[in-house]
């Protein structure tokens, strides 16, 4: 049976830090808008304090999370055990977008891995933390991180990445504003 917690308590913090992948879910306010769920990895998650977490958001083909968080702030992060004892932890909260090139982004950026191509940091102020059994999650073996994202960003260079963002990240698939400088 799952429990609800006021903050990210130490045993749960240890669990989420150990996961190699997590999932981010957001949605627009419009009932006919697209719900978004994105996998994240590459050592991009950090616990800032028991009530605040953040992750490095990479340049990508879409900008749904940024657009949704800017519109309404709602965000959920899900961590599940693919090895060891079964467990799921959901972090519910209010997100804020810290764009690349801002003082807030620059202050937090060292907390994440060295992969290039970050376009923002999503900081989440937790409103609810819950765990559950995870009995339905399959066991999988971690083989290694993929290196294509970092290689893509290195090949493009900083200005090429920003150009890609301007071309592909100005608006969400529902037409919500994406990156300010896109």
Find the CATH number of the domain harbouring 36.
2.30.110.10
In the chain, pLDDT over 70 holds for what percent of residues?
A: 98
Reported as a single tens digit per residue, the pLDDT across 2-36 is 899 999 999 999 999 999 999 999 999 999 999 99
Q: How many Å apart are CA 11 and CA 87, to the nearest integer?
A: 12
For the segment 80-87, the average pLDDT, to the nearest whole number, is 96
For the segment 127-136, the average pLDDT, to the nearest whole number, is 96
116 in a domain, yes or no?
Answer: yes
| Residue 180: both structure tokens together | 């300010």
For the segment 36-53, the average pLDDT, to the nearest whole number, is 96
173 in a domain, yes or no?
Answer: no
Mean residue pLDDT across the chain: 95
The 10 Å Cβ neighbour count of residue 129 is 23
Instruction: Give the number of C-alpha atoms closer than 13 A to the C-alpha of residue 164, restricted to the C-beta side.
Output: 18
Contact by Cβ (8 Å): 126, 91? yes
Cβ within 8 Å of residue 174, ≥6 positions away: 28, 30, 33, 34, 67
Whether 180 shows a pLDDT value over 90: the answer reads: no
36 in a domain, yes or no?
Answer: yes
177 in a domain, yes or no?
Answer: no
Q: pLDDT: is 117 or 15 the higher one?
A: 15
Angle at 84 between CA 150 and CA 110, to 5 degrees: 30
Whether 182 shows a pLDDT value over 90: the answer reads: no
What is residue 45's predicted lDDT score, i.e. its pLDDT? 97
For the segment 122-150, the average pLDDT, to the nearest whole number, is 95
Q: How many Å apart are CA 24 and CA 54, to the nearest integer?
A: 11
Domain containing residue 28: 3-135+146-168
What is residue 74's predicted lDDT score, i.e. its pLDDT? 98
140 in a domain, yes or no?
Answer: no
User: Taking Cα atoms as reference points, which of 62, 161, 169, 71 lies closest to residue 116?
Assistant: 161
In the chain, pLDDT over 90 holds for what percent of residues?
A: 90
The number of folded domains in the chain is 1
């Amino acid at each position: 049976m799952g429990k609800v917690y006021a903050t990210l308590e130490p045993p749960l913090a240890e669990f989420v830090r150990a996961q190699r992948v997590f999932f981010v879910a957001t949605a627009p306010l419009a009932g006919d808008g697209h719900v978004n769920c994105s996998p994240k990895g590459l050592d991009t998650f950090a616990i800032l304090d028991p009530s605040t977490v953040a992750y490095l958001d990479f340049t990508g083909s879409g900008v749904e999370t940024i657009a949704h968080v800017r519109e309404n702030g709602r965000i959920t992060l899900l961590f599940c055990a693919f090895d060891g004892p079964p467990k799921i932890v959901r972090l519910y909260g209010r997100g804020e977008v810290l764009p690349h090139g801002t003082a807030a982004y620059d202050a937090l950026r060292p907390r994440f891995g060295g992969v290039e191509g970050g376009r923002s940091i999503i900081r989440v102020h937790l409103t609810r933390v819950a765990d559950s059994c995870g009995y339905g999650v399959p066991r999988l073996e971690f083989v290694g991180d993929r290196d294509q994202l970092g290689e893509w960003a290195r090949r493009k260079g900083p200005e090429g990445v920003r150009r890609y963002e301007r071309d592909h990240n100005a608006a969400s698939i529902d037409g919500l504003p994406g990156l300010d400088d896109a």
